Amino acid sequence: MEKITTDICIIGAGPVGLFAVFEAGLLKMRCHLIDVLPQVGGQLSEIYPHKPIYDIPGYPDVTAQQLVDNLMLQIAPFHPTFSLGERVENLQRNDDGSYNIITNDGTTVHCQVVVIAGGLGCFEPRKPEIDRLTDFEGKGVAYMVKNPEHFRDKKVVLAGGGDSALDWAVFLSNVAERVTLVHRGDTFRGAPDSAEKVFELAREGKIDLVLKSNVVALTGDDRLQEITLLDRDQQVSHVEADHLIPLFGLSPKLGPIADWGLNIDRSAIAVNTVDYSTNIERIYAIGDINTYPGKLKLILCGFHESALMAQSAFKYVYPEQKLSFKYTTVYGVSAF
């Protein structure tokens, strides 16, 4: 388990989190970034790397990935460090006011200031409305397939109509004792090959395909034993099941950050526009994840927010020093 000590821990390595490294660096504050995605750039790299962006000052147009690449060049003099592919789970406040941030991989980051630049938040599995669904989480209900062997010789029900539902139905048909795929529609939009394969396996009796139906309830004592289905004609049926895997895509959520006692307003973190600080001392929120009167979810607004945040955070990192404002045109960028 890695232990890292830094001045500012930035949660989220999207464009705003990256630029915060630059603004902090100008004030000699070191940064460590954590992102749940395996690469930097946030939604720019993950969702629309090739889309042009037209409202970055000084660039008539720039693709999302180019902007991220340029930001990485711009912050390189300040040698930021990264924990990528890790999700922030816990925040501990120390007696001296500093914080420890702990990720799901057990990485601990000791820092003076926390900056949440989490954008849309963490993408989490979308949970359908099924009676007693959460009762059976970890007791038969899982939202992703981590280890297919876990399902060997079990009765598995998959719910969903997207690519992942199709692909896992095909794959698990060779592993599980029985695979049932429940889909609310009667066609699949997923890759035609996968859909065709599912229909073929259904014809061969290797998958039970239940169309125009939804899973509505779960039953079992300690573990999941049976699921209840409802079809479009309101007919109820029951299927024995050791496992239910609902695969309904991902939806952005605040995640564990929502439980830190921050003021939350409609899934965004409320901040003071003087310095983009939250209601908790030494914790700031910048970029798409924050909200305030007049908030615009623009990259350029996030850049502005990161500059003001850094000026304010300075007092926690260098409590003995007086902050003097300096232009890069006069002083340049002093690497460290």
Partner 1 sequence: MINLTIIDRDGGSRAVEIPEGINLSLMEVLKASEYDILATCGGMALCATCHVQVIEGPEEYFTATDTELDVLDTLPYAPPASRLACQIRISEDMDGMVFKLVGEE
Interface with partner 1 (CB under 8 A) = 47-48, 120-121, 126-129, 159-162, 184-185, 189-190, 214, 246-249, 251-252, 266-267, 288, 297
Which lies closer to partner 1 via its Cβ, residue 103 or residue 194? 194
Closest approach, Cβ 109 to partner 1, in A, equals 26
Q: Structure tokens of 172?
A: 């698990």
Q: What CA–CA distance (Å, rounded) separates 125 from 137?
A: 13
CB 229 within 8 A of CB 182: yes
* CB nearer to partner 1: pick between 184 and 206: 184
Bin 326: left if φ > 0, else alpha if -120 < ψ < 50, else beta.
Answer: beta
**Minimum distance, C-beta of residue 217 to partner 1, in the bound complex (Å):** 14
Annotated binding residue 88: yes
CB 60 to partner 1: min, Å: 20
- CB of 331: closest distance to partner 1 in angstroms? 36
- Closest CB to partner 1 among residues 139, 295: 295
Judge whether 16 is annotated as a binding position: no
Is 222 annotated as ligand-binding? no
Give backbone dihedrals phi and psi of 36, rounded to 5 degrees, phi first: -70, -25
What is the distance, to the nearest Å, from the Cα of residue 279 to the centroid of all Cα atoms in its chain?
A: 23
**Closer residue to partner 1 in complex, CB, 123/316:** 123
Residue 147 in tokens: 């280890």
Question: What's the N-to-C CA distance of the chain in angstroms?
Answer: 26
114 is an annotated ligand-binding site residue: no
Residue with smaller CB distance to partner 1, 185 or 332: 185
The H helix count followed by the E strand count for the chain is 7, 23
Picking from 16, 15, 20, the residue whose alpha carbon sits closest to that of residue 7 is 20
Q: Which is nearer to partner 1, 36 or 75 (CB)?
A: 36
- In angstroms, give the least distance from the CB of 253 to partner 1: 9
Q: Is 235 annotated as a binding residue?
A: no
**Selection from 305, 267, 239, 270 nearest residue 19 by Cα:** 305
Q: How is residue 206 written in tokens?
A: 């290797």
Rounded CA separation 151/180 (Å): 13
Q: At what angle do helices 163-172 and 192-203 cross, to 10 degrees?
A: 40
Q: Report the nearest approach of partner 1 to the CB of residue 336 (Å).
A: 35
- Rounded CA separation 63/76 (Å): 20
Q: Which residues sit in the known binding site?
A: 35, 43, 48, 88, 123, 288, 329
Q: Which residues sit in the known binding site for FAD?
A: 35, 43, 48, 88, 123, 288, 329
